[in-house]
Amino acid sequence: MADQDKVNQVLIKFARKYKVKIIASNDSHYVEQDDFNAHDILLCINTGEKISTPALRDFNDDDINVKDKRFAFPNDQFYFKTTEEMGKVFHDLPEALDNTNEVVDKIEVLNLTRDILLPNFPVEKRFQVHTKEETIGKYKVSAESQNQWEYLKHITYEGAAKRYTVLTDEIKERLEFELFTIKMMGFAGYFLIVGDFIDAGRKKDVFIGPVVVQQPDLLLPIVSASQILIPSNTIYCSKGS
């Protein structure tokens, strides 16, 4: 785009003047170049326009509507380019690609099956009975998460005794299954935090909406006193965005 080329020239001058590294980037809205037409159709759906309406492909402010024109992207270059393609685009700035790779090299890859990033939820010393990591199934669960689980189990059965007149074998079996799933995946802290938020809200007379759950759908209302659940298999429909 001509306007973008002008802006880039100014940015390059600033970068060299102030000794700031330049990185290469490409705005990607679809994967393959051939996806351009499908993306154009999706834009029509989103804006309530027909594909037959003449497209405004010149750069403009998104908030400006032009009569008898529909919003559209300028060209078919908004796809995920390969390294070779990016090299051709930035042939006059090869150092920009090196700088981009430098940024990539600084990214710390997290093992999301293990490193769950949650605020620390401290528990009393009487529940701190685990001191080492444990492997449960295919998951490695830290000692901290296991101790949180011990507290979660305690308040779960405490709450269940208040919620149910009789703790039947069926209820116990369901609770044990849900507790085991939470322990195995290391999510005890998550349920403690959610329960704490909900309880604090209720104490301050804050309206508590439905709780969307995947698993468990028996334990959470016991822990958090939330009375409304939306199962994970509910289909949500909405108009607009």
Q: Which residue matches tokens 């085991």? A: 180
At residue 59, the 3 state secondary structure works out as coil
pLDDT in tens, 15-29: 999 999 999 989 999
- Stretch 45-73: mean pLDDT, rounded? 80
The strand pair at 229-230 and 211-212 is best described as parallel
Query: How far apart (Å, rounded) are the C-alpha atoms in residues 108 and 145?
Result: 23
236 φ, ψ (degrees, to nearest 5): -100, 130
Residue 178 contacts residue 219 (beta carbons within 8 Å):
yes
Domain of 92, in residue numbers: 2-105
pLDDT for residue 113: 63
The verdict on 159 and 100 lying in the same domain is no
Closest CA to 113 of 140, 143, 145: 140
Give yes or no for residue 169 having a pLDDT over 90.
Answer: yes
Last residue of a domain, one of 73, 105, 137: 105
Stronger pLDDT, 126 or 206, i.e. the higher one: 126
The answer to whether the peptide bond before residue 221 is cis (omega within 30 degrees of 0) is: no
The verdict on 159 and 83 lying in the same domain is no
- Stretch 2-9: mean pLDDT, rounded? 85
Last residue of a domain, one of 105, 133, 165: 105
Structural domain count, the chain: 2
The verdict on 39 and 94 lying in the same domain is yes
